[in-house]
Amino acid sequence: MGSLFDFMLPELESPLTGASTDAVMAFIHIVSFIILAGVTIALIYFAIKYKRKSEDDETPLITHNNKLEITWSVIPLLLVFIVFGWGYKGWLNLQTPPDNAYEIHVSAYKWGWTFSYENGAQIGNEVHVPAGRPVKLVMQSQDVLHSFFVPDYRIKQDVLPNRYTTVWFQAEEEGESQVFCTEYCGTSHSDMLATVVAHTQEDFEAWLDEQNTGGGGTPVERGESLVSIQGCVTCHSVDGSQKIGPSFQGLFGREETMTNGTTLTADENYIRESILNPSAKIVEGYQNQMVSYEGRLSDDDISDIIEYIKTLED
Amino acid sequence: MSTHNHEHHISTAGQLWAVGTTLFILTIITVVVAKFVAIPPPFDVVTAISIALIKAFLVAAFFMNLYWDVKFNAMLLIMAVIFFLLMISITLLDTMYRNDVVPSF
Amino acid sequence: MLTAEVKPASTGTKKTLKVKRYKPSEDPKNTYLTDEKGLWAWMTTVDHKKIGLMYLGSVTFFFLVGGILALLLRTELLTPAKTFIEADTYNQFFTLHGAIMVFFVLIPSIPAALGNFVLPMQLGAKDVAFPRLNLASFYIYVIGAIFTFIALANNGLDTGWTFYTPYSTQSSSSVIWVTIGVFILGFSSILTGTNFIATIHKLRAPGITWGKLPLNLWALYATSIIQVLATPVLAITVLLLTMERALGIGIFDPALGGDPVLFQHFFWFYSHPAVYIMAVPAFGIISEVITTFSKKHIFGYWAIALSSLAIAFIGFLVWGHHMFTSGQSAVATTVFSFLTFLVGIPTGIKVLNWVATLYKGSIEMKTPMIYVFSFLFIFSIGGFTGIMLGTLSADIHLHDTYYVVAHFHYVMMGGTLISFLAGLHYWWPKMTGKMYNEFQAKVGAALIFIGFNTTFLPQFIMGSQGMPRRYYNYIDQFTIFHQTSTIGSYILGVGFLLIAYYLAKSLKSGEKAGSNPWGSRGLEWQTTSPPDFHNFDHTPVVINGPYDYHRPMEEFQLGLANEDKDH
Amino acid sequence: MANHSTSHPTHVHHHFVDSDQQFDTAKLGMWVFLVNEILFFGGLFCAYIIYRAWYPELFQMAALELNTFWGAVNTVVLIGSSLTVAMAIRSAQKDQMKGLKINLLITIGLALVFMVIKGFEYAHKFELGIFPGEYYTYEGIDHPQAAIFFSIYYMLTGVHAVHVLIGIGLIYWIYLRAKKGEFSSEYYTPVEITGLYWHLVDLIWIFLFPLLYLIE
């Protein structure tokens, strides 16, 4: 289709889901552009040609013309029928993932994404997929509405807290594509980004095998990966920089002042309470924004995270 | 607009009592039918709503005078009901036909 | 002594009336502005013209607040990361910008402010059907605004103007104050709609049949129907949301077993028709202005009149096109997409009829007409991008991106606000009796047109490239579009300041307008500027259509001959 | 009845041509307002229908907690009050001011009876722990969405009860005006349009009753 409006779209990385979308968009753009040009030219031409000559200008009495009315009702009607059918066909394809699609589970939360694989591997804010094979994401939210949007693939689907939704694509080449959250979800909505990384089939399998499922490694290593997968780092920096919540750097053993005026020293019990019941104590200068991780983190997980935080000294 | 009616309709007391009595009887019928007659669903709901519709018609037509009033007022009532039905039926098109996604692992 | 055979609306039977010509005075002694003076007289007035002006004042105030918020938002977006405000502040600003512009500016702008002023005059009536109810509507609007401002002073609101659950049930901002405010505000809208329907049905001057009703009134009539049918659903929706937060009733909250998508149905069942509450009255103004300044009969009177009703009706059945990605069922999505395309047709018909009206006209490019030309260009773009967004596969890509932001600004701001400006400049001489500076007004119109397109055209491109809406931070590749857009918004700001300046100045030192400065055949122009308390000092009798420019002016100035002049 | 002389009777506002035009306009306005009321309740009925379609078994279980007998009594009481309002309008049309006042008082009495019965029903539910929303503590219904049924029940009957209270206020106001002798067969517009409002309150209840109380 025409290249006139190609600059408006990002490079298409998943032709199986996006080619029909691009084509119908180009068609609408071109037809609209022609009609808009016609209307604009007519407006300017009439304004010049029929400019008022004097206050006593007589104008002819033209009340209506049924033939003209029917023409400009029926032609647009036919055009929009074409567009409807075209869009419907492309959309139906988006709604029906191929049977051989590779399934990955997505969990969205304020403000990040966790991707889980069949073998138990989990990874935060990065989804690795095999190129040249359809991939189906089965998604659910842990809190509010989110939406999974990959412009390069022309796909988008809201992620709901009470049921699963699904979306599919097929990246043809190796490469990275940007994921956005497109359903407004609060303070860091605009930081709720992720990346799709497409590998060749062999590289993908190798990558998947490398991912340990959280069983191996030292407690500190496990803690570090949990902090990333569970999205803690979206709000709590590990380098002392200012984010939505207090930084993890130097947190352990730090003297903190609470919003109610009391002070305490951050120890194991305080961190544990802050993970399970975040609204119990709020550090001065911060909002009560965090959701409880009760049920999402086991006692062992929490111990691992505390061990990791201990290593982050000033 | 339809022609103007200079004489406002005045119902007789007998008419009003007849309508009221019918409404009382219909109330008793709908309770008896619901409690003591086993109608298989969904026809139990259909029966209850049909009786309610008859009652509503009687109230609108005779207590609210629509039967003798200008037709435009009746049209307004019908329009409200139509828009309510459109709202509910199109929403049901979503809520009744959602596709259940089941994760495979 | 002349006679005219007409059908008075109050009896509906044809009869012959004795009429004579009443030429409006060019130098009125007694006008509605001099009639009663003082703050108290204004605050308790039941005069539709004064109430219209009070709405105009409030709408202007809220537009200023919403506009400043918009400029702050655009300034924040100059750089990809933080420019000068925090993320939470940004979220509150876009929420309030949306809520204020929709509920306090666009919805009351044309119907309640301009509509209140001209509707009875175009009907030849002395007032709306229920003048006290009209005043009550205004105060209900004020009370709704007060509730919203309590929320502002008390944690603000950060849910987006759409209040989507479950975010709105969890948010720590004062959602309840705003929902109560919107609930109250809804009644203002409903009562205004009720008033207009009754007025148009029952208070038409002798001779104004449905076929001689000005198209502005057809548009206001269609709008009123939407207001009465849709606004109660908004009321119940925000009531349920209030209860959701106060009592946790669970209907919309998934944590309590409810369904968040159901909330979206409830919300858009009102809020999509609300788009037409904002847009349809704009169509009315365009029809009035374009005929006056081309001195020509409207092309396709019935096509334009009936397409307003068609838009109002089909507009009720398309709300689900805001929910194509929400997880609603496939069958609902298909039906909504199909119906969405149908609503595009009557809109297209209107635009083409207006263009055809210009053919062989006597076109004078006064300020209101410049706004009409801006409208036709900008609104067409809004319409075409609407077709794009109604297309299922394209909407999946474009939904909730800046493409949508640009689209609804082209429709709401380019459509409603620009035609509001057209109407304001068109009826300004009638309202105030004064003329504004034509040259400054033309500069203002040009600034608005240029500023508007500079602001919103780049948003189509970045949206299509994937820039999501409601983003505080953005990735670097979108910087150039955001910066262009911000510059455009400053041009718009300057344009609005200029308009405010010369309109205010015209009140003090503007030239006298005369009763009919544009040479219009509309009934509202056949009385003094500004009109007196009763609008006309006689009962007008209408024998021609409002666009019959082939008939002499005398025939538009008739009134009952045998009337005592003292009431 | 209405005469078409040029003089304006005192009750006719300046912007109307005559009494008939004012009467028709007021009535039309009220009908337009009733359209809005129907859609206002329509939203709640919509929530009801969708949840009933989702969880039919819940509605059968939960409806057993509602007392059909008192529901039916309240239906009869409300229909009775509609009848007396209709009689009141008839009295006004026939210039029987005493009948007007008596009928209005009976209507208010019946409306109060309705509210008292409603109050007992609510009190009984509160005793069981059937509170709206999150405060729901009753354990007699084994269904995860049980609280939502009662949320819908409380919203529907609660909003309806608010309308009954407003109606009582309006009818009392009409009664006071009737006492002052403001109405006659020439002018009874406020009686007529308040009556329309009251009939609508009745109409809504006619549907609420089978939908909430008569599910088997």
Chain D from 73 to 102: CB within 8 A of any B CB = 75-76, 79-80, 82-83, 85-87, 90, 93-94
Q: What is the mean pLDDT of chain D?
A: 90
Other beta carbons within 10 angstroms of residue D121's beta carbon come to 16
* Structural domain spans, chain C: 2-322+338-560
- Sequence-distant (6+) residues with CB within 8 A of D69 are none
- Residue D132 with chain C: CB contacts under 8 Å: 243, 247, 249
Q: Facing residues of A141 across strands?
A: A108
Chains near A (3 or more Cβ pairs under 8 Å):
B, C
Same domain, B76 and B60: no
Same domain, B37 and B58: yes
Instruction: Give the nearest chain C residue to B101 (CA atoms).
Output: C327
Chains near B (3 or more Cβ pairs under 8 Å):
A, C, D
Q: How confident is the model at residue D6 (pLDDT cuts 50, 70, 90)?
A: very low
Q: Does the CB of B94 have a partner CB in chain A at under 8 Å?
A: no
- Measured CA angle at B38 (ends B32, B42), to 5 deg: 105
Q: DSSP 3-state helix, strand, coil percentages of chain C (rounded to 5)? A: 70, 5, 30
The mean pLDDT of B47-75, rounded to a whole number, is 91
Number of domains in chain D: 1
The mean pLDDT of A269-281, rounded to a whole number, is 86
Q: Does the CB of B32 have a partner CB in chain D at under 8 Å?
A: no
Asked if residue B55 has pLDDT above 90, the reply is: yes
Cis peptide before B42 (omega within 30 of 0): yes
Asked if residue C47 has pLDDT above 80, the reply is: yes
Same domain, B19 and B53: yes
Name the residue range of residue B55's domain.
Answer: 12-64
Which candidate from D29, D39, D133 shows the least CB-CB separation from C249?
D133
Asked if residue D3 has pLDDT above 50, the reply is: no
Residue D50 lies in a domain: yes
3-class DSSP state for residue C28? coil
Residue B81 lies in a domain: yes
Q: Does the CB of C61 have a partner CB in chain A at under 8 Å?
A: no
Residue D199 lies in a domain: yes
CA distances from D133 to C89, C256, D40, D119, D138 (A): 32, 9, 21, 19, 11
Same domain, B53 and B90: no
Same domain, B34 and B77: no
Residue D82 lies in a domain: yes
Q: Which of A68, A72, A78, A27 is nearest to C384 (CA)?
A: A27
Residue B4 lies in a domain: no
Other beta carbons within 10 angstroms of residue D193's beta carbon come to 21
pLDDT in tens, C177-225: 999 999 999 999 999 999 999 999 999 999 999 999 999 999 999 999 9
Find the CATH number of the domain harbouring D26.
Answer: 1.20.120.80
pLDDT in tens, A132-190: 999 999 999 999 999 999 999 999 999 999 899 999 999 999 999 999 999 999 999 99
Q: How confident is the model at residue A16 (pLDDT cuts 50, 70, 90)?
A: very high
Nearest 10 degrees: Cα torsion D190, C192, C270, C282: 150
Instruction: Give the nearest chain A residue to B105 (CA atoms).
Output: A118
Q: What is the pLDDT of residue D8?
A: 63
A267-276, C253-262, D33-42 — which is least confidently predicted?
A267-276
The mean pLDDT of A62-86, rounded to a whole number, is 93
A150-159, A302-311, C316-325, C511-520 — which is least confidently predicted?
A302-311
Same domain, B58 and B39: yes
Asked if residue C429 has pLDDT above 70, the reply is: yes
Identity of the amino acid at C132 = R
Chains near C (3 or more Cβ pairs under 8 Å):
A, B, D
pLDDT in tens, C138-155: 999 999 999 998 988 888
Asked if residue A215 has pLDDT above 60, the reply is: no
pLDDT in tens, D64-112: 889 999 999 999 999 999 999 999 999 999 999 999 999 999 999 999 9
Which candidate from B24, B45, B80 shows the least CB-CB separation from D39?
B80
Identity of the amino acid at D3 = N
- Residue C251 with chain D: CB contacts under 8 Å: 47, 51, 148, 151-152
pLDDT in tens, A27-70: 999 999 999 999 999 999 999 999 998 888 888 998 889 999 99
Contact assignment for D25 to C197 by CB distance below 8 Å: no
Q: Under a CB-based contact definition with an 8 Å cutoff, are residues C396 and C321 in contact? A: no
Contact assignment for B90 to C335 by CB distance below 8 Å: yes
Residue D125 lies in a domain: yes
Chain C from 302 to 321: CB within 8 A of any B CB = 316-317, 320
Same domain, B75 and B59: no
Which candidate from C232, C249, C534 shows the least CB-CB separation from D132?
C249
Among A190, A234, A241, A287, the strongest candidate for a mutation testing the C interface, having the largest count of C CBs within 10 A, is A190
Chain D from 150 to 169: CB within 8 A of any B CB = none
Asked if residue A15 has pLDDT above 90, the reply is: yes
Number of domains in chain B: 2
Separation in Å, CA of B93 to nearest CA in chain C:
5
Which candidate from D54, D86, D196 shows the least CB-CB separation from B95?
D54
Q: How confident is the model at residue C35 (pLDDT cuts 50, 70, 90)?
A: confident
Name the residue range of residue D108's domain.
Answer: 20-213
Q: What is the pLDDT of residue C549?
A: 92
Number of DSSP helices (H) and strands (E) in chain C, helices first: 19, 5
Report which DSSP code applies to D172.
H
Asked if residue C498 has pLDDT above 60, the reply is: yes
Contact assignment for B104 to A103 by CB distance below 8 Å: yes
Asked if residue D5 has pLDDT above 80, the reply is: no
Asked if residue C4 has pLDDT above 80, the reply is: no
Domains, in order of start, for chain A? 6-50+60-95 (1.10.287), 102-210 (2.60.40.420), 219-311 (1.10.760.10)
Q: Domain C2-322+338-560: which topology?
A: Cytochrome C Oxidase; Chain A (1.20.210)
Contact assignment for D35 to B69 by CB distance below 8 Å: no
CA distances from B58 to B77, D45, D174, D208 (A): 14, 21, 25, 17
In whole angstroms, give the CA distance from residue C241 to residue C157: 14
Contact assignment for B101 to A166 by CB distance below 8 Å: yes
